[in-house]
Amino acid sequence: MRFTARSRKIWAPLRALEHHGEMIPLKALIRMTSVVGPEQVERYNGFLSAKVLGSGKPGISSGQTIAAVEKIASQALPPGYGIAWTGQAYQEKRTGSASVFAFGFAIVMVYLILAALYERWRLPVAVVLAVRLPCWARSGSSGCAAWKTTSISRSVWSC
């Protein structure tokens, strides 16, 4: 238990019952010393840890920031020490390239649904390609427009 100067004054007059039935001062049973240390010890997965919060520079993606932190940590931390991600960075590392698989699966599902709708196997190919063509055209430089966000003072490109 952590004792402060105030708690010492509170604990000093307290007494405990001895096995012979006499009341003895509590200071005869415990020793109170001043110790310098943190008020709260951070733990992560049962290990002592230090919480570091940060964000990347404007114009740097979160994936690049995560890679840079991991590179610096591998060079700077001594053996036996490591880093673990929480929150948004953890979710980003966990999903990785799952969006590519999800997009591919969505295209296959749309194709199968259209094949069932048109009762043909070749016609949905033309429909899927016809829908994707404007998306590719829009991702060109002529379809992009720069706009400023109100909360962050950097340019965001919307395609």
The predicted structure's pLDDT at residue 133: 65
Could you tell me how many residues make up the chain? 159
Residue 23 sits at φ, ψ, to 5 deg, of -90, 125
Same domain for 125 and 88? no
Residues near 62 by Cβ (< 8 Å), separated by ≥ 6? Answer: 56, 88, 89, 92
The predicted structure's pLDDT at residue 44: 84
Q: Is residue 11 part of a domain?
A: yes
pLDDT exceeds 90 at position 29 = no
3-state SS assignment for residue 68: helix
Regarding predicted confidence, which is higher, 43 or 36? 43
What confidence tens digit (pLDDT) does each residue in 141-159 have? Answer: 444 444 444 344 333 443 3
**In terms of residue numbers, what domain contains 85?**
43-95
Q: Is residue 149 part of a domain?
A: no
Q: Is residue 145 part of a domain?
A: no
The predicted structure's pLDDT at residue 143: 45
Same domain for 113 and 132? yes
Same domain for 108 and 72? no
Q: Is residue 146 part of a domain?
A: no
Q: Is residue 64 part of a domain?
A: yes
Q: Is residue 82 part of a domain?
A: yes
The predicted structure's pLDDT at residue 101: 85
Q: Is residue 151 part of a domain?
A: no
CA distance 108 to 106: 5
Q: Is residue 148 part of a domain?
A: no
Instruction: Estimate to the nearest angstrom the gap between the alpha carbon of 144 and the chain centroid.
Output: 30
Average pLDDT over residues 43-66: 86
Q: Are 43 and 49 in contact, with CB atoms under 8 Å apart?
A: yes
Nearest Cα neighbor of 27 from 37, 36, 35, 16 is 16
Same domain for 49 and 10? no
